[in-house]
Structure 1
Amino acid sequence: MWRGCPIWASRVRTDCPAWAPPLLALQFLTRMPVPGLGGLSGEAVRIGLGRAVGWFPLAGALIGGVTASVLVVADAFWPRLVAVLLALLAEAWLTGAFHEDAVADFCDAFGGGRDAEAIRRIMKDSRIGSHGALGLMLGVGLRAALLVALPSVLLVPALLGSATFGRLLVVAAMAAVAPAPAREGLAKDVAAAVGARQLALALLAALPGLLPLLLLAPGRLLLACGGGTLFLAWFRSLLRRSIGGSTGDCLGFSAYVGQLILLLAIAAR
């Protein structure tokens, strides 16, 4: 789902300047006001979003940095569990609960849908059912429990790394699974434009967010990469068999799972 781009300038650019894709990635993944994009036409935004996908991991690192900052400050005043919940609350506000909403929709659709048509119909329904409520509760609860369990020295690197890794997994899923046949509009055009070039850019854009873990716990990061690869193989098979491709909710679900995979790898004994 594209959140829109306000028109602030009288002169509209029909091309997409090189500086626009990183800003578009940040605007797409958060509710932060991003200046400088109002002069782009709809076509420029469409082109820019296809290029912005490669910058998703860097935008994720910025989101993780905000979450980590809130956690560090809150941890000085309250017990760790309270600090973690406050940090997750701040992140949900920052992102508009973008991925949490996808988790609920995905769990409802694949938990209650009997065929491709039913899965798509349930996924588009704004109401949340028992599968979605349970999946969201367990997902957020597991993430909070993992953050509470981590040693303090790994807490900030884990938040930065998991936020980055989750968005990197989204790009990998876009490259691995074509959009579902029933998808239409901007989201389908963006997902269809992702290939090896955007995936390579995403790997480079992920380096700042993953570097602390690469230095402190390289073995755990490697374990997470293996887990992410296994998840992608299963995810690709599930989506192609069930609905013939990916949707925005499926990709949002993969982002949240990516965060959990990395946190599980770091917290493992």
Structure 2
Amino acid sequence: MKQQLNLFFHALMFYSRIPAGKIDYSEENLTKAFRYFPVVGILVGAIGGGVFLLFRLIFPDAVGIAAALAAMTLATGAIHEDGFSDFFDGFGGGQTKERILAIMKDSTVGAYGVTAIVLLFLIKFSILSAISPASMLPALIAAHASSRVMPVVLINTSQYARKENSKAMHTRHRTDGVTFSLALVFGALPLLLIPWQTAVILIPAYALIWFLLKRYTERKIGGFTGDVLGAMQQFSELAFYLVFVGIQSVTL
């Protein structure tokens, strides 16, 4: 149990800004901590949903959605949004593998990255505005949990593209079977909170994102980086919201 708590705190510390306990750090533990990556998503989604419900007691729903997006971004330290922005900067501005990798590692943000992040939040706000208030909390929890399974899938089906040291070096190792299985379980369980039709359509939608992103990044840079993993999570989260709203519209 102590070791599992240690792994959970690894995930909490590395993938969020939520206070975590003291950890016995190692790169191996950080790789194994992927089993709790979707659990971090559950917490982030719960924070966003809770903020939305609190704000709508006084303010219009639109204000609650904006506050929820801000709270979830603060909870993660924008780690995945940063990867999403760097992804578009790198692949938008680079023509060779070396140039793409260099741009993504650069701490400055370019026009592609700024445009991508602005559109990302506009699209999220627009889609979340179409979700019924009663469904917001379970939708956010399920979205953040299930979307965090997809980077784990990519890690186990592709290869790390960088040779030099980086913050995401632990992702060059594929996870063990227990870690992968637990990540799938923790990511899938919150889907029980939403209509089953959403879960059924979500599986092929996620599979399509995985296939296209894997094929594209392997062709361009020979695999993935930490920024690609962040983009994978964000693409998957957006897909969840689109599928959820689509099913909600059809079944109403």
Ranges in structure 1 where 5+ consecutive residues have no aligned partner: 1-15
TM-score in terms of structure 1 length: 0.86
User: SS of 1:189's equivalent?
Assistant: helix
CA distance in 1, matches of 2:17, 2:111: 28
- Runs of 4+ residues deviating >4 angstroms: none
Q: Please tell me the root mean square deviation across aligned C-alpha atoms, in Å.
A: 1.6
Letter aligned with residue 116 of structure 2: G
Match of residue 79 from structure 1: 60
Contact 1:179 1:245 in 2 (8 A): yes
Letter aligned with residue 210 of structure 2: L
TM-score in terms of structure 2 length: 0.92
CA distance in 2, matches of 1:177, 1:195: 15
CA distance in 2, matches of 1:205, 1:69: 20
Of 241-250 and 189-198, more deviation after overlay is shown by 189-198
CA distance in 1, matches of 2:164, 2:191: 32
Match of residue 151 from structure 1: 132
Letter aligned with residue 263 of structure 1: Y
Structure 1 residue aligned with 2:100, among 97, 102, 119?
119
Match of residue 233 from structure 2: 255
**By how many angstroms is 1:48 displaced?**
1.1
**By how many angstroms is 1:113 displaced?**
0.9
Ranges in structure 2 where 5+ consecutive residues have no aligned partner: none
Is residue 266 of structure 1 aligned with residue 252 of structure 2? Answer: no
Letter aligned with residue 57 of structure 1: P
Is residue 219 of structure 1 aligned with residue 197 of structure 2? Answer: yes
Structure 1 residue aligned with 2:224, among 246, 256, 265?
246
How many residues align? The count is: 246
Match of residue 157 from structure 2: 176
Question: How does 1:1-269 map onto structure 2 within 5 Å?
Answer: 17-37=3-23, 40=24, 44-184=25-165, 187-213=168-194, 217-268=195-246, 269=249
**By how many angstroms is 1:95 displaced?**
1.0
Counting aligned pairs with the same residue, the percent is: 27
Contact 1:183 1:247 in 2 (8 A): no
